[in-house]
Structure 1
Amino acid sequence: MKADAVRGHLDAMLLAVLEPRPLHGYAVITAVQRRSGGALELRTGTVYPALNRLERLGLLRSRWQPVADRPRRCYELTDAGRRHLVDARSTWRDFTATIGAVLSSARHAT
């Protein structure tokens, strides 16, 4: 999948994979790849700055935790992050319905 397709949706995807539980950065990347069936392979140079930005915005919080006997920075949603994810999902549904209507078969055209 083209990187342009992800642009504008990265924040929502990161929040979504962090919704069930806190994860460290590499686990976030792996979760996105797994959920996308391997279609999305995010780079660390994209994900870590985004996680830091979401934390600065108050949508995530992080803390150092031992993972496999190594300290790793784990990220989790804040209440504001959960609210933002609800809004992002609603916006996504509206967007995909609108684009789907335009891209649908010419038989539906007026």
Structure 2
Amino acid sequence: MNVQFKKGVLELCVLVLTSKKDRYGYELVEQISKKFEIAEGTIYPLLRRLASEGLFSTYLSESDEGPPRKYYKITHEGREVMDKMIEEWNSFAVGVQEMIGGESD
């Protein structure tokens, strides 16, 4: 898949997945990679930025498989941003699909 396509939707994917349940970084990589391939290193800078912007809060939780994991929990502000991004994505996707399908002038 085109790298630019992935970059454009990665933030939205992270927000949506985290809105369903609190997640840790590698878990997000695994979930997103089920749909399209991403490098593990692309998620962590994005998570740090979203947390610093107040879209996520974080907490540590013990793990049976090693050191404690840092979990990301979407905030109210994060949900608002996600809802706006979903609305924008849907509008964008419809426009692109119309052009692909030949429905535009």
Question: Same-fold call, TM > 0.5?
Answer: yes
Q: Percent identity?
A: 23
Would the aligned equivalents of 2:56 and 2:74 in 1 still touch at CA under 8 Å?
A: yes
1:41-92 deviation line (CA, Å, top 9, x unaligned): 2212110000000000100111111122530111110000111111111000
TM-aligned CA deviation for residue 3 of structure 1: 1.6
Q: How does 1:40-79 map to 2 (within 5 A)?
A: 40-68=36-64, 70-79=67-76
Q: Which residue of 1 aligns with 2:94?
A: 97
1:14-60 deviation line (CA, Å, top 9, x unaligned): 001111111111001111123x2xxx122121100000000001001
- Gap regions ≥5 residues in structure 1: none
> 2:6 aligned with 1:6, yes or no?
yes
Q: 1:109–1:53: structure 2 CA closer, same or farther, 3 Å change rule?
A: closer
Q: 1:109–1:24: structure 2 CA closer, same or farther, 3 Å change rule?
A: closer
Residue 81 of structure 1, aligned match among 78, 82, 91: 78
Instruction: Give me the whole-angstrom Cα distance separating, in 1, the residues matched to 2:7 and 2:76.
Output: 24
Give the letter for the 1:67 counterpart: S
Once superposed, which parts of structure 1, at least 4 consecutive aligned residues long, lie more than 4 Å away? none
- Gap regions ≥5 residues in structure 2: none
TM-score w.r.t. structure 2 length? 0.90
Give RMSD over aligned pairs.
1.4
Would the aligned equivalents of 2:98 and 2:104 in 1 still touch at CA under 8 Å?
A: no
TM-score w.r.t. structure 1 length? 0.86
Instruction: Give me the whole-angstrom Cα distance separating, in 2, the residues matched to 1:109 and 1:78.
Output: 39
Instruction: Give me the whole-angstrom Cα distance separating, in 2, the residues matched to 1:109 and 1:42.
Output: 33
